[in-house]
RNA sequence: UGACCCAUGGUGUAAUUGGCAACACUACGGUUUUUGGUAUCGUCAUUCUAGGUUCGAGUCCUAGUGGGUCAACCA
């Protein structure tokens, strides 16, 4: 065994951690954190951040805190706190101790601010937001010092205390760090540390009327919690010098910020503001609409938590912008569902088949394997009789050569039952097939076939004398463009897919479907993976399509149609 | 017209740190199959460009090009 064979490739974060471990930095302790703001639901993009933080800690024997970054009471709410906790648990992660809140540190943060003022490194600015923006300059032009920048420490201390006590109106004053108004990094141009907001906070109530900004709360919270590796996305790169500056000046625990590229998935959006817009304007039914990129949406859609985690691991971690193809996500979920889904037969668009040589009034019971991938999955029963439903797609009057399904004078196997042959059919005034008349081969029963008939196709079916009507929700991508929010000249709503949801009000399902559990993964054979929806009740069963099965016939069909047009 | 980050197949990541560009997905073509599913085999790259260092460069250096980020009292 050589080094070559034992070598395992590491991403850049793992390399940093292993280097730190090697140097016994922080005594070999690894402590990460996931810091969501409770102002919306978690989405697929967060999943990557969650996995990176929790899995790296787990891998290197460390811990991970869950800390809510709740420093802006205007947009935050406890409803989101509960939803976020629920989603993280669903993914299978356990955070260290109780959930933490940046708002737990408001007292400490206030002391930090006083410390900074006393060190002559922060000042109270009376300028308006517009004036501050004006004085800040632009990325290509240096800013200018605020006239209030030279206030004495005593005056700053006094003013800041009065800010805290509510002596000033919202926006009248802010506390700023005194750094460098000509820095090429805009975040170092005397960033605002505290602002006045006379707003009730979801946890601290009316105790405070000044609230710290992100830059004065996040890194400090990391430090207070002794976080060793603060893993965040690339857009915070420019904040890092400020993150480090504050830690240095405050002389507190030196957490280290490391940035990675956030994950983008084609045809999905992850802007909380835009997701909220979809809900508010009624394009979707809520945060948990199965078309949403939210974890609650994906869960309702039938995605498995381990699939999402595996997806994030396959995608990897790096520092370049990326858009992951949806096909990869679908491949991962199909792979997992294939292993566990119970197979059932459901006809979505039925036509009736009458088996003329099968005795009228008779019914037999056949067994159906629950999952051919799993020997221990068992079987369930289904009935067969003279009249059955098959899929409209599975019969063609004048089929092309490559069509392996039912057609006049052609044989096909009914999955788990008999071989049948079509003799004739009825159609309505518009030419739609209404009934196909067939004969079956009694010696071809599934598992004991002595007929010797070779068939190329096997189709699914449901006993027309014993079935359950169910509602199906067939979901497709929510947008027609892979990156709907990337167009400067067009609003993302212009790319909404009008066919993102198709409802099948009464599909014909085998009876067994009424017995399946709420979160039992299902495969509707030859159609796709489904999961029972929470809208199901005693009168009506509703199923969401998680993802279709791969469909190579659809491709062949498309090619046939194309070549037909070409002629 | 500033600073910072990034650049390897259609997509996303690798390349044991300077030594035969690999894996997965997609696409295409086979095999198997009582799901046109699953499984399985095969095909698809002169590493953004130009110089340089070196016996040897995807990797190091220089310049360019392209993409991204930063100017909220948001996080």
Q: Give pLDDT, residue A359.
A: 96
Using only the alpha carbons of chain A, give its radius of gyration.
31
**Cα A567 to chain centroid, rounded:** 44
Distance A324 CA to B27 C1' (A): 16
Q: Give pLDDT, residue A520.
A: 97
Which nucleotide's C1' is closest to A128 (Cα)?
A: B73
Residue nearest to nucleotide B74 (CA to C1'): A72
Residue A386 in this model has a pLDDT that exceeds 60:
yes
Q: Measure the CA–CA gap between A297 and A308, rounded to whole angstroms.
A: 13
Distance A34 CA to B60 C1' (A): 37
For residue A94, give its domain range. 3-265
When divided into structural domains, chain A yields a total of 2
Do residues A295 and A41 touch, judged by C-beta distance below 8 A? yes
pLDDT over 70 for what percent of chain A?
Answer: 98
Residue A16 belongs to some domain of the structure = yes
Strand B nucleotides within 7 Å of a protein CB? 1-8, 10-17, 24-28, 34-39, 67-75
Q: What digits encode the pLDDT tens for the residues A289-348?
A: 999 999 999 999 999 999 999 999 999 999 999 999 999 999 999 999 999 999 999 999
For A242, list phi and psi in degrees, rounded to 5: -70, -40
Residue nearest to nucleotide B26 (CA to C1'): A327
Q: Which of A265, A294, A313 is the last residue of a domain?
A: A265
Are residues A519 and A374 located together in one domain of the fold?
Answer: yes
Distance A551 CA to B27 C1' (A): 14
CA angle A11–A15–A17, rounded 5-degree value: 120
Distance A105 CA to B3 C1' (A): 33
Distance A482 CA to B10 C1' (A): 14
Residue A567 in this model has a pLDDT that exceeds 60:
no
pLDDT over 90 for what percent of chain A?
Answer: 96
Average of pLDDT values for A112-140? 97
Residue A275 in this model has a pLDDT that exceeds 80:
yes
Residue nearest to nucleotide B24 (CA to C1'): A314
Burial zone of A48 (CB within 10 Å; 0-12 exposed, 13-18 middle, 19+ buried): buried
Residue A87 in this model has a pLDDT that exceeds 50:
yes
Which nucleotide's C1' is closest to A549 (Cα)?
A: B37
Residue A53 belongs to some domain of the structure = yes
Angle between helices A78-91 and A44-59 (to 10 degrees): 60
- Annotated active-site positions of A, please? 37, 262, 272
Q: Give pLDDT, residue A166.
A: 98
Average of pLDDT values for A457-481? 98
Which nucleotide's C1' is closest to A125 (Cα)?
A: B73
Residue A17 belongs to some domain of the structure = yes
Are residues A535 and A412 located together in one domain of the fold?
Answer: yes
Residue A4 in this model has a pLDDT that exceeds 50:
no
Residue A300 belongs to some domain of the structure = no
Q: Give pLDDT, residue A566.
A: 60
What CATH number does residue A398 fall under? Answer: 2.40.240.10
Are residues A383 and A504 located together in one domain of the fold?
Answer: yes
Angle between helices A326-340 and A305-315 (to 10 degrees): 140
Distance A321 CA to B59 C1' (A): 20
Residue A277 belongs to some domain of the structure = no
Q: Measure the CA–CA gap between A260 and A240, rounded to whole angstroms.
A: 13
What is the DSSP secondary-structure string of A295-319? HHHHHHHT--HHHHHHHHHHH---S
Calculate the alpha carbon distances from A449 to A132, A288, A417, A547 in Å.
84, 47, 10, 33
Q: Measure the CA–CA gap between A419 and A405, rounded to whole angstroms.
A: 11
Q: Measure the CA–CA gap between A373 and A520, rounded to whole angstroms.
A: 16
Q: What digits encode the pLDDT tens for the residues A387-405?
A: 999 999 999 999 999 999 9
Residue A286 belongs to some domain of the structure = no
Contacts of A213 (CB under 8 A, 6+ apart): A71, A191, A192, A193, A194, A195
Q: Measure the CA–CA gap between A418 and A114, rounded to whole angstroms.
A: 83
Look over chain A and give the mean of its residue pLDDT values, rounded to a whole number: 96
Burial zone of A193 (CB within 10 Å; 0-12 exposed, 13-18 middle, 19+ buried): buried
ipTM score for this prediction = 0.96
Which nucleotide's C1' is closest to A400 (Cα)?
A: B36
**Residue burial A139-174, b: 16+ Cβ < 10 Å; e: rest:** eeeebeebebeebeeeebbebbeebbeeebeeeebb
What CATH number does residue A86 fall under? Answer: 3.40.50.620
Q: Give pLDDT, residue A562.
A: 75
Which nucleotide's C1' is closest to A72 (Cα)?
A: B74
Q: Give pLDDT, residue A560.
A: 84
Average of pLDDT values for A236-242? 97
User: Among candidates A441, A434, A52, which has minimal Cα distance to A259?
Assistant: A52
Calculate the alpha carbon distances from A142 to A132, A180, A293, A423 in Å.
13, 9, 40, 85
Q: Give pLDDT, residue A543.
A: 98
Average of pLDDT values for A473-495? 96
Q: What digits encode the pLDDT tens for the residues A337-355?
A: 999 999 999 999 999 999 9
What does the longest C-alpha to C-alpha distance in chain A come to?
A: 102
Average of pLDDT values for A185-192? 98
Q: Which of A265, A295, A327 is the last residue of a domain?
A: A265
Do residues A470 and A544 touch, judged by C-beta distance below 8 A? no
Q: Measure the CA–CA gap between A557 and A294, rounded to whole angstroms.
A: 34
Q: Which of A294-298, A449-453, A542-546 has the lowest mean pLDDT?
A: A449-453
Are residues A387 and A530 located together in one domain of the fold?
Answer: yes
Q: Which of A235, A265, A295 is the last residue of a domain?
A: A265
End-to-end CA distance of chain A: 61
Q: Give pLDDT, residue A559.
A: 84
Q: Give pLDDT, residue A3.
A: 39
Distance A244 CA to B75 C1' (A): 18
Residue nearest to nucleotide B7 (CA to C1'): A320
What is the DSSP secondary-structure string of A395-451? B-SS--TT--SB-BT-EEEETTS-EEEEEEEEE-TTS-EEEEEEEEEGGG-TTS--S
Residue A153 belongs to some domain of the structure = yes
Band the pLDDT of A1: cuts 50, 70, 90: very low
Which tokens sit at A362? 């008779």
For A29-100, where are the alpha helices, taking DSSP H only? 44-59, 78-91
Q: What digits encode the pLDDT tens for the residues A550-562?
A: 999 999 998 888 7
Which tokens sit at A556? 């062949």
Are residues A115 and A248 located together in one domain of the fold?
Answer: yes
Contacts of A328 (CB under 8 A, 6+ apart): A311, A314, A315
């Amino acid at each position: 065994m050589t080094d070559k064979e034992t070598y395992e490739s590491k991403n850049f974060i793992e390399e940093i951690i292993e280097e730190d471990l090697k140097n016994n930095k922080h005594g070999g302790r690894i402590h990460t954190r996931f810091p969501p703001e409770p102002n919306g639901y978690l989405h697929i993009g967060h999943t990557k951040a969650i996995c990176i933080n929790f899995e790296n800690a787990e891998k290197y024997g460390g811990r991970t805190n869950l800390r809510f970054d709740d420093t802006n009471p205007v947009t935050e709410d406890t409803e989101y706190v509960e939803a976020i906790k629920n989603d993280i648990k669903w993914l299978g992660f356990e955070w260290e101790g109780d959930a933490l809140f940046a708002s737990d540190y408001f007292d400490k943060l206030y002391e930090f601010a006083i410390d900074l003022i006393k060190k002559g490194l922060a000042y109270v600015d009376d300028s308006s937001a517009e004036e501050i923006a004006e004085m800040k300059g632009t990325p290509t032009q240096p800013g200018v010092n605020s006239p209030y920048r030279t206030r004495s420490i005593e005056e700053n201390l006094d003013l800041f205390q009065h800010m805290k006590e509510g002596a000033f109106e919202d926006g009248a004053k802010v506390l700023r760090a005194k750094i460098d108004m000509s820095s090429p990094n805009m975040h170092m141009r005397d960033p605002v540390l505290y602002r006045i907001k006379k707003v009730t906070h979801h946890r601290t109530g009316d105790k405070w009327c000044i609230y710290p900004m992100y830059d004065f709360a996040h890194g400090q919270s990391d430090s207070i919690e002794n976080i060793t590796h603060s893993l965040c996305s690339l857009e915070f790169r420019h904040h890092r010098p400020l993150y480090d500056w504050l830690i240095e000046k405050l002389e507190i625990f030196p957490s280290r910020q490391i940035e990675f590229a956030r994950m983008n998935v084609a045809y999905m959006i992850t802007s909380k503001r835009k997701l909220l817009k979809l809900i508010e304007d009624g394009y979707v039914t809520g945060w948990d609409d199965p078309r949403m990129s939210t974890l609650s949406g994906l869960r309702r859609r039938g995605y498995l938590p381990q699939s999402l985690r595996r997806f994030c691991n396959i995608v990897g971690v790096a520092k370049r912008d990326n858009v992951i193809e949806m096909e990869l996500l679908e491949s991962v979920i199909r792979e997992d569902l294939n292993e566990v889904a119970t197979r059932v037969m459901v006809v979505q668009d039925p036509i009736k088949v009458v088996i003329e040589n099968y005795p009228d009034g008779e019914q037999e019971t056949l067994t159906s394997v629950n999952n051919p991938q799993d020997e221990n999955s068992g079987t369930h029963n289904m009935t067969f009789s003279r009249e059955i439903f098959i899929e409209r797609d599975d019969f063609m009057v004048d089929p092309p050569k490559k069509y392996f399904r039912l057609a006049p004078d052609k044989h096909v196997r009914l999955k788990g039952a008999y071989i049948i042959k079509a003799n004739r059919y009825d159609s309505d005034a518009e030419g739609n097939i209404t009934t196909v008349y067939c004969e079956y081969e009694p010696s071809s029963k599934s598992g004991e076939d002595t007929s010797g008939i070779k068939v190329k196709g096997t189709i699914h079916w449901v006993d027309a004398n014993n079935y359950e009507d169910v509602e199906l929700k067939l979901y497709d991508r929510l947008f027609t463009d892979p990156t709907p929010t990337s167009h400067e000249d067009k609003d993302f709503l212009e790319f909404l897919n009008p066919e993102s949801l198709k409802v099948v009000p009464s599909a014909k399902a085998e009876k067994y479907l009424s017995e399946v559990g709420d979160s039992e993964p299902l495969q509707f054979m030859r159609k796709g993976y489904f999961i029972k929806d929470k809208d199901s009740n005693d009168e009506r069963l509703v199923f969401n399509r998680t993802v279709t099965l791969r469909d190579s016939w659809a491709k062949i069909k498309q090619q046939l149609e194309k070549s037909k047009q070409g002629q």
